[in-house]
Amino acid sequence: MIARWFWREWRSPSLLIVWLALSLAVACVLALGNISDRMEKGLSQQSREFMAGDRALRSSREVPQAWLEEAQKRGLKVGKQLTFATMTFAGDTPQLANVKAVDDIYPMYGDLQTNPPGLKPQAGSVLLAHA
């Protein structure tokens, strides 16, 4: 009896519409999952260049030296950066500036884009960029 009911309902147009709607919903969910996976992979690959490294440890205080030594023991390259906002002056004109101090290995990934190209500052020198 159930088999006959199922066969009769299977051929009805109303069940066909439900079946097509369900198939379309499953296809949309699978497509969105695939798109989000691709976007996540693309962003994680580009994040190395955005951060100039694989991972970032941010702190408002100096990182303990023991942590840095342990990271180097494990074969990790460790780079240091210091960023802060401050006021600079050109004559009597104040200007808000974001200062970023980096060590020798910056950037670990990607390139430092300067004008003229290839300019790498020496220790104690400054590069300026317009905002």
DSSP category for residue 125: -
The full set of domain ranges for the chain reads 2-51, 53-131
Confidence of residue 25 (pLDDT cuts 50, 70, 90): very high
**pLDDT for the residue 16:** 77
**pLDDT for the residue 52:** 66
pLDDT digits (tens, 9 = 90+) for 55-94: 777 788 888 889 888 888 988 888 888 888 999 888 888 9
Burial of 53 (0-12, 13-18, 19+ CB in 10 A): buried
pLDDT digits (tens, 9 = 90+) for 52-63: 666 777 788 888
Q: Three-class SS string for 47-109?
A: HHHHHCCCCCCCCCCCCCHHHHHHHHHCCCCCCCEEEEEEEEEECCEEEEEEEEEECCCCCCC
